[in-house]
Amino acid sequence: MCLFFYLAVVRAPGMSPLKIPLTTPSWVAEGVSMWEWSGSAFDEGEEAAKWFSDYLGKQSRLVRFNKETECRATPPAYAVGYSTTFSNTFPFLVSSQASLDHLNTLLPEPVPMNRFRANIVVENGDPFDEDLWDEIRINDLVFKGVRLCYRCKITTVDQETGVPSAEPIQTLRKFRSDTLLMPEKKSQRKVFFGKEMVWNWNISNSQGKGKKTIKVGDSISILSKISSITEAAT
């Protein structure tokens, strides 16, 4: 999917490009659910529904989170007072290219960064530096580290073919498991890649002023770190 001005353009093999206006839709869909949340959402209309239904081979509708009427809170055990939309648990996932490069040296076949679905990818630095980041700043926005991102079997599915394998979970388990990183804690058989974050709006210069966007090429400042990975929430 690409964004052009006020359009989102979705492409797929054998399909004509789908152009979706980024203006607020007029239609509302009821009974939308995402994990523990359910409510209403904006419906992107019949053209988008037919496009996805034809491509996926099952009845589908494309919806957009309706922030005007709905709120999906982040887990209060980790981040009280914050919210997300249709992301898995938290709105931001930070990973570094150095971490991926290191992992790929250990894998039988390299995997791309999009296998891990990070929406903030950092270049430079050492592998897994992001584990220790407690607060970071990009432009006028401050982000708060919430917990290490534990990875599920979705990361083992090749997006191009839909074929699953044992990797990268099998290799991550050899050096990125809670058993190895936090031996004093009870093992939950989790493996980690990336750091989940929230926008710390109450200390960001973004309440009516300042830059509220981030883009490729922006610099990142590390404001604070935890002292050890054993302190990281999981």
Rounded Cα distance, 21 and 226, in Å:
42
pLDDT of residue 182: 94
Rounded Cα distance, 141 and 215, in Å:
12
pLDDT of residue 140: 87
pLDDT of residue 2: 55
Model pLDDT for residues 169-213, shown as the tens digit of each residue: 999 999 999 999 999 999 999 999 999 999 987 555 555 455 578
Maximum separation of any 2 CA atoms in the chain, in Å: 54
N-to-C CA span, the chain: 31
The closest alpha carbon to 73, from 36, 27, 20, belongs to 36
> The pTM is what?
0.87
Which segments of the chain have a pLDDT < 50? 208
Q: Please return the burial class of 30, using the count of CB atoms within 10 Å of its CB with bins 0-12, 13-18 and 19+.
A: exposed
Rounded Cα distance, 13 and 144, in Å:
38
> Residue 70, CB half-sphere, CA atoms under 13 Å: how many?
21
pLDDT of residue 128: 98
Using CA atoms, how far residue 108 sits from 7, 13, 111, 163, in Å, is 39, 28, 10, 16
Using CA atoms, how far residue 127 sits from 11, 82, 169, in Å, is 33, 28, 17
pLDDT of residue 209: 54
pLDDT of residue 6: 78
